[in-house]
Amino acid sequence: MPLIAPSLLSSNFLLLSSEIKMINESAADWFHLDVMDGRFVPNISFGIPVIAAINKEAQKPLDVHLMIVEPEKYVTAFAQAGATHLTVHIEACTHLHRCIQMIHAEGMQAGVALNPHTPVSSLEDIIKDIDIVCMMSVNPGFGGQKFIPHTLTKIAQLKKLITDTDSRALIEIDGGVTENNAAEIIAAGADVLVAGNTVFSATDPTGMIQALKAIG
């Protein structure tokens, strides 16, 4: 049974308190929070003050995904805002191991995200040090995109790497996850499904979360 992490990027920001309440009362496992800076990705979302506000009402872990340059500068601030998991992009970190150490030192789980063009092999020297691999199944920056089919091959490669190294890392898939493709994503080896548009555009978001949770 997969972990489900609804992405608040697709929520109605005018009704954020209600959206948080819905997730609190649903079968979802985590809140997925996408932070974009307009530099690493061509979009700007929300930042530390909004996450701190969400943290006051959220009753589940805050899975914060940093799509920003120089993420190491903000590790402590996101920890103070309430992040439970902090994921940084391998493409944005010159000193990735150091950044992972900083995240762990703040008491958070450390995640590393891979863009669609980044090979799984780039994780070989870090896989045993991290808790989550967030594999982007769309190009980061915007919600509502279609799942990139080649991601299934990469998930299988990553699962083998994790097994071969006795890593504890969870495989999180972010982008284009739907009720129609979730089964094959899980079968390939995914542990966590990030679902934004699929959840928040559904007639019954709570029911959609439950349906995704029941797959696999």
Q: What is the CATH number of the domain that holds 189?
A: 3.20.20.70
User: pLDDT means per 10 residues in the chain (216 residues)?
Assistant: 96 97 98 97 95 98 98 98 98 97 98 97 98 95 82 98 98 96 97 96 97 92
Distance, C-alpha 176 to centroid of its chain: 13
Among residues 37, 63, 131, 174, the one annotated as catalytic is 174
The encoded tokens of residue 42 equal 């061509």
Q: Which domain holds residue 68?
A: 3-214
68: phi > 0 → left, psi -120 to 50 → alpha, else beta; which? beta
Structural domains counted in the chain? 1
For residue 145, the model assigns a pLDDT of 76
Is 129 designated active site?
no
For residue 120, the model assigns a pLDDT of 98
d(CA 151, CA 177): 11
For residue 140, the model assigns a pLDDT of 81
β-bridge mates for residue 109, sequence order: 85
CA atoms within 13 A on the CB side of 73: 4
Sheet holding 192-195, edge to edge: 3-6, 192-195, 170-174, 132-136, 109-114, 85-89, 62-67, 31-36
CB contact at 8 A, 83 and 51: yes
Among residues 34, 37, 131, 191, the one annotated as catalytic is 34
Please indicate, yes or no, whether the overall pTM of this predicted structure exceeds 0.85: yes
For residue 94, the model assigns a pLDDT of 94
Neighbouring C-beta atoms of residue 194, cutoff 10 Å: 28
CB contact at 8 A, 85 and 64: yes
